[in-house]
Structure 1
Amino acid sequence: MELLAVVAAVAGLLAVVHLCLPRLAPFFVFYPEPLAPHETHPRYWGFVDASEVRIPTEDGLELHAWWFPAAHDQRAGDGTARGEGARGGTARGGTVRGAAIYFHGNAGHLGDRGTVAAALANLGLDVLLPDYRGYGASEGKPSEEGLYADARAAYRWLVEEEGIDPGHLIVFGNSLGSAVAADLAIGRPVAGVVLLGPFTDIPSIARHRLSWLPEWYLDWRSPRFDTRDRASRIEAPTLVGAGAEDRVIPPGQSRAVYEALAAPRRWLEVPGAGHNDIFSQQALWQALHRFTREVLGSSEGSGTKLQ
């Protein structure tokens, strides 16, 4: 009798979880952390050249973001040094090579990604690092459509408010941010796209990690973040990279995103890198250095070299 009671209890619990899965799913995808008021400025994290910006969204929220000007010792394609002080120098008469938006992964806040943005600025790029709604000091609550709206807001702020030329803008996304970057790149002019550690879609990850459950049980409808589908509609040159030792994203998913691309593309497998330490690998930064110069050069008429 006791065994039957346990079996019945487990079966009942699984049934309840299955019915509640649409409500529970976001808790398995989004892991936002707040920023205290004294933590919002990049100087608190040691980034003395960066500044805070606030970006309005189309649905009335305000996003918190950091702006990293291109490193002063970087040089433009004509070999001249960028003038100091101006934000958005590409559009304001400076000689910055280009600009970038960096969309981070599903956990934490932008304070955890400042080193990545600073390193991108060392490539000669002005860099916008936004926090998604509900993350850090941004208003709202995260959702799939909400994150896509946040990306549109960031793009709109750069292009319409700061006057950045879309032909000199590269969209970067890491992990969950790859799905966000891919969605933004569809139908909008950009110089290039970088997707690092992308997955095909959330349901595929759920089935991989919970393979002991029957597939019908994981009727995962939302959020989906279908990166592979969006990749097939990107028209800009795209670099897809993944760590050779990635144990977070199921094997082959990043490659499947790459294979879905119809645009000029490049595949990068970073030796010795996992999912969370890919930015510490020199091979990645060498590839990003090459890619940014190729696509930004092509926006000035030298031709895209990706294969």
Structure 2
Amino acid sequence: MGVLKSGFLFLVFTVSLYPVLVLLLTNPWLQRHALYAHKIHSGFWHDVNKPESFGFAAHQVTPFNVSTPDNEVLYAWHILPLATVARNRDTLAAADPLDQTLPLQLLKSDPEARVVINFHGNAGHVAQGWRTDTYRALSNQPHTHIFTVDYRGFGRSTGSPTEGGLITDGRALVNYVLSLGIPPSRIVILGQSLGTAVASAVGLSFADPTSELLPQPIVGAIAEKAVFRSIILVAPFSSLPDLLLSYRIGGLIPVLAPLRSSRFLVSMISKYILDTWPSGLRLNAYVSAAASVGSKNNGAGNVHILHARDDQDIAFAQTEKLFATATGREVEVLPLGTRDAAAKGKVGVRVEMLQYGMHNRVVTYAPVGLAVMRAFEGI
């Protein structure tokens, strides 16, 4: 009886605590710390300025800073292709490991150079968790350079994260790569989890900077529209309010799921969500806007979405909703494997449901590498 009583009291305590938790999350400061989790990272004992400690070859990674139009300073990495490191090992060894000059020369002097711009998920920093495995796997592809950045407030970057701020950060990194003379047709935008929302927004901001679905005005907007080789989204979500109805912290603790049966409560709580990240609507606008711009870039602009069915953080149903919204279809159950969709006047959208990979590790799996390779090779 004592065990039953203790269990009952624990249940009562948990249920009574839930409304308090929801109420606390309406506070803007708490809400953004919970959403972005940018203060949770291993930077206290991992030195991101020592990339070799994360398994990279000597001189393969160069840390550098990117300045944003609103005066934040972002910490970033440039990862060289492994084959480039092998061919230039002695020259790289003689250079200052924190000097970008030689790595950028190797990028700009290679007529076959390709760039993957990576946007990581929430929490952590550029080198946390499975992220370095992703970079190492992609750097094994010929001529493929990887650029990745910590958003404002993450890792060593200054500032505090907001939806508009992260979009500005993503654009700052893309503009940096473009300023090196790399054309959009040789750039793939890759995002995972929260990074898929950043990638979708950044892609739209270049295809249609005046879109009503973006924070306006776009800070640091370019004069000419651009579409990149491809946008690859791994473990995405359709919008933050929709995600929160099914999201469980750590796969266990529900956020808004207990309120799903009450439209009134869902509507009321949703009004307090500051950063909504409507990726589905943004992708729909992107594929429409990219068609005319893409015709100037040899048919670039396709979208490739990948999601693992065993993802316990973001349910694969989010990709089904995202795919439906992006293509203007009804939501449907998507089978394992690959499915393509392309409508007249729109660029292609490909969705790939994977059996395994979970939420974070999936971005290191071969299907993601194949998606990058396919984008660049046009196969």
Smaller-chain TM-score bracket: 0.7 to 0.9
Is 1:60 matched with 2:71?
Answer: yes
Distance 1:99 1:205, change over 3 A: same
**How many angstroms apart in 2 are the aligned matches of 1:225 and 1:170?**
21
Amino acid across the alignment from 2:32:
P
Alignment correspondent of 2:167? 148
Q: Is the 8 A contact 2:192 2:234 kept in 1?
A: yes
Alignment correspondent of 1:108? 124
Matches within 5 A, 1:132-211: 132-160=151-179, 162-186=180-204, 187=207, 188-209=226-247, 210-211=256-257
Amino acid across the alignment from 1:248:
D
**How many angstroms apart in 1 are the aligned matches of 2:157 and 2:26?**
28
**How many angstroms apart in 2 are the aligned matches of 1:198 and 1:256?**
10
Quote how far apart the aligned CAs of 1:216 are: 3.3
Q: Is the 8 A contact 2:133 2:364 kept in 1?
A: no
* CA offsets 1:41-70 (integer angstroms, 9 cap, x no match): 123323221111110011111100110112
Alignment correspondent of 2:52? 43
Quote how far apart the aligned CAs of 1:137 are: 0.9
Alignment correspondent of 2:112? 96
Alpha-carbon RMSD across the aligned residues, in angstroms, is: 3.0
Gaps of 5+ in 2: 1-11, 93-101, 208-225, 248-255, 260-264, 291-300, 328-345
Report the TM-score, using the length of structure 1 for normalisation: 0.81
Quote how far apart the aligned CAs of 1:73 are: 6.7
**How many angstroms apart in 1 are the aligned matches of 2:239 and 2:231?**
18
Identity of aligned residues (%): 24
Distance 1:207 1:73, change over 3 A: same
Secondary structure of 1:39's partner?
coil
Q: Is the 8 A contact 1:202 1:223 kept in 2?
A: yes
Amino acid across the alignment from 1:68:
I
Q: Is the 8 A contact 2:235 2:316 kept in 1?
A: no
Alignment correspondent of 2:7? none
Distance 1:191 1:245, change over 3 A: same
Is 1:27 matched with 2:33?
Answer: yes
Q: Is the 8 A contact 2:67 2:73 kept in 1?
A: yes
Secondary structure of 1:65's partner?
strand
- Name whichever of 191-200 and 40-49 sits farther off: 40-49
Matches within 5 A, 1:254-265: 254-259=319-324, 260-261=326-327, 262-265=346-349
Quote how far apart the aligned CAs of 1:172 are: 0.5
Alignment correspondent of 1:3? none
